[in-house]
Amino acid sequence: MHGKLPAENQYSHGFAEGAERFRRTHLEIKGEKHLDLLEQAKKALEAEGVTFAAVSSCGEKKTSQKKGIAPMMEILAECPDFLQGAAVADQVIGKAAAFLLRKGGAKYLYAKVISEHALETLQNSGIAVSYGTKVPYIINRNKDGMCPMEQTVLSVTDVEEAYGKLQEKLRELSGRN
């Protein structure tokens, strides 16, 4: 029995090559699907007045014209699983929004403007990030200091702690009105 391998071993080798080809193709298709989700979210963000757009892993779309972290806080409260594996496009992403994306389990993000603090928070999170402009921090609406939400979580590193602090800050701010 010297020489050629038995036919079953040749078949096994061919099967392994085929399985590897299938795996690579499946990953490429899966990657394209998610990139397509991000393109859908970016396109939705271009509509007049839209500040936030998300496309779930199954293709469901949500958009908002609300400012700040309100759209993500609402999604996390009303349907917490929606962001799991989703593609998100947003006008402005600061550290607070970055924590919310991590909490929700988003996979892809496009931000027109992103803070350095947000990028640090998203680093090694599993979220693929692309953006237009990077800024040192997000400014508040009066343009005279840092965004109060980013300020609230500036020294925080834990997602759940950040979420709790943001809920508390929103309650505090809504009590002023």
Tens-digit pLDDT profile for the chain (177 aa)? 444 444 444 434 444 454 444 433 333 434 455 569 999 999 999 999 999 999 999 999 999 999 999 999 999 999 999 999 999 999 999 999 999 999 999 999 999 999 999 999 999 999 999 999 999 999 999 999 999 999 999 999 999 999 999 999 999 988 865
- This prediction's pTM: 0.80
Tell me, what DSSP letter sits at residue 146? B
- 7-176 adopts what CATH topology? Cytidine Deaminase; domain 2 (3.40.140)
Amino acid at 114: I
